[in-house]
């Protein structure tokens, strides 16, 4: 049976996830050997070459086989063996040419058509489809059900992007031929998932798990379906089990951490993301998620440490500087926070919210001119300033004794505040009395 390898990248439908990628499948395209036919009627060099092939002495077999085809250009057995060894010698173009001559000499050999189709598919040559289809109609020399299932499976992988409906039918035929094999169900589940046919994908992944309860690919696929369908309680036990079975798999811990965070289990989520970060320190996205989770859980000192590491790794990452600035701001480290916000804005001038962060830090540092500049920068990007920012800017103008602009912002704040900020509204009223004595 063809060995199809799935490289699963966790796919998450939760809004807090930083990076979402779909599961991807890759086929090894391993070619096959077939039993010798009427070897006693073949030239002796064929038997000698077969013996060398059995010992993996492919370079020694090549001249023997070339001697045969030089004498008999229509010897399909020799061309087939040449195709096989040239592939093993990492000469794919020559291998394809040899398989073509084998098929031309005898188009009714399953293995020749299969190997040629696999080689062409590996090279992304659409012509491979023709030969894989031919293989599905021929009888393999050995293990016919498994051989034909392999052909259907290879054909499905090749056409699934072009004709997904046909590919699903091909996977079904492979499953019928090898009812104890989970692979056709895994591949069909993955294709259904990419087509957003989640109910069908779930059924295929469950069938794969029924055939192979230890299938990590099926568990991951089923987990993805649950998460994309917002069925988090169904996904959690699967992810917990996988995390226990594969404690060294950073991706599983990362996904479990995301799920737990979305369920409000922040302390447990932190433990999982810490494991992911420890196992994959080079994965800056998981480090960033951990830093964000620390901040969301009110662990601002830990958030500071994580963001500092991110800033060190990526000094031009504006978001990392902003995250560090917010962690410092919430620890009342106002001068350091102000500096980080300035760096973030230098790296990314259109970050409207960072202007607000900078204004608050500057206000705590009594840098009122910077407060005004920051909030004016914010309004240049988005005129809808949050109500409290009008009070902040009015207060800054007030400290700078620019009473005209202070009064305008105090009035604007009172107009939009409407009782939501009683303390600041009381202050605004009393400052207006002081700076606009004639209004009464």
> In angstroms, rounded to a whole number, what is the distance separating the alpha carbons of residues 231 and 77?
55
Beta bridge partners of 5: 26
> In angstroms, rounded to a whole number, what is the distance separating the alpha carbons of residues 71 and 262?
71
Along the 440 residues of the chain, how does pLDDT read in single tens digits?
232 222 222 233 222 122 222 223 333 346 665 544 444 478 999 999 999 999 999 999 999 999 999 999 999 999 999 999 999 999 999 999 999 999 999 999 999 999 999 999 999 999 999 999 999 999 998 899 999 999 999 999 999 999 999 999 999 999 999 999 999 999 999 999 999 999 999 999 999 999 999 888 898 899 989 988 889 899 999 999 989 988 998 988 988 998 998 888 999 999 999 999 999 988 898 899 999 999 999 999 999 999 999 999 999 999 999 999 999 999 999 999 999 999 999 999 999 999 999 999 999 999 999 999 999 999 999 888 889 999 999 999 999 999 999 999 999 999 988 888 999 999 999 999 999 866 54
Stated pTM of the model: 0.63
| Three-class DSSP category at 18 | coil
Nearest Cα neighbor of 310 from 302, 300, 299, 321 is 321
Burial of 385 (0-12, 13-18, 19+ CB in 10 A): buried
Helix, strand, coil abundance in the chain, percent, nearest 5: 70, 0, 25
C-alpha distances (whole Å) from 171 to each of 139, 143, 161 are: 18, 18, 14
| Number of residues that make up the chain | 440
The C-alpha torsion from 72 through 78 and 79 to 82, rounded to 10°, is -130
């Amino acid at each position: 049976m063809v060995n199809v390898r799935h490289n699963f990248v966790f796919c998450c439908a939760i809004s807090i996830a930083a990076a979402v990628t779909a599961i991807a499948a890759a086929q090894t395209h391993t070619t096959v050997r077939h039993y010798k036919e009427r070897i006693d009627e073949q030239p002796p060099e064929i038997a000698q070459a077969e013996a060398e092939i059995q010992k993996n002495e492919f370079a020694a077999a090549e001249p023997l086989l070339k001697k045969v085809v030089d004498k008999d250009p229509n010897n399909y057995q020799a061309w087939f063996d040449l195709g096989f060894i040239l592939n093993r010698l990492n000469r794919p173009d020559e291998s394809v040419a040899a398989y073509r001559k084998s098929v031309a000499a005898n188009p009714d050999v399953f293995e020749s058509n299969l190997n040629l189709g696999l080689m062409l598919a590996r090279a992304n040559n659409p012509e491979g489809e023709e030969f894989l289809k031919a293989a599905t109609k021929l009888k393999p020399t050995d293990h016919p059900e498994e051989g034909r299932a392999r052909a259907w499976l290879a054909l499905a992988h090749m056409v699934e992007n072009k004709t997904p409906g046909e590919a699903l039918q091909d996977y079904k035929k492979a499953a019928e031929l090898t009812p104890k094999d989970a692979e056709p169900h895994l591949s069909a589940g993955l294709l259904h998932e990419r087509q957003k046919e989640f109910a069908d994908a779930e059924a295929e992944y469950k069938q794969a798990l029924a055939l192979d309860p230890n299938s990590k690919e099926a568990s991951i696929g089923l987990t993805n379906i649950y998460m994309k369908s917002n069925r988090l309680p169904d996904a959690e036990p699967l992810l917990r089990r996988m995390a226990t079975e594969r404690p060294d798999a950073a991706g599983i811990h990362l996904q479990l951490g995301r799920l737990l965070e979305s369920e409000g289990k922040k302390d447990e989520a932190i433990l999982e993301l810490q494991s992911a970060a420890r196992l994959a320190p080079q994965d800056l996205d998981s480090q960033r998620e951990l830093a964000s989770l620390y901040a969301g859980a009110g662990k601002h000192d830990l958030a500071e440490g994580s963001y500092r590491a991110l800033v060190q790794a990526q000094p031009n990452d504006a978001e990392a500087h902003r995250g560090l600035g917010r962690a410092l701001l919430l620890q009342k480290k106002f001068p350091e926070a102000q500096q980080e916000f300035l760096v973030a804005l230098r790296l990314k001038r259109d970050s409207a919210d960072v202007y607000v962060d900078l204004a608050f830090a500057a206000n705590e540092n009594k840098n009122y001119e910077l407060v005004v500049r920051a909030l004016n920068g914010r309004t240049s990007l988005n005129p809808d300033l949050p109500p409290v920012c009008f009070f902040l800017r009015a207060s800054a103008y007030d400290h700078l004794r620019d009473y005209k602009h202070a009064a305008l912002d105090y009035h604007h704040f009172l107009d939009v505040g409407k009782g939501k900020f009683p303390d600041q509204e009381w202050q605004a009223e009393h400052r207006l009395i002081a700076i606009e004595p004639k209004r009464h």
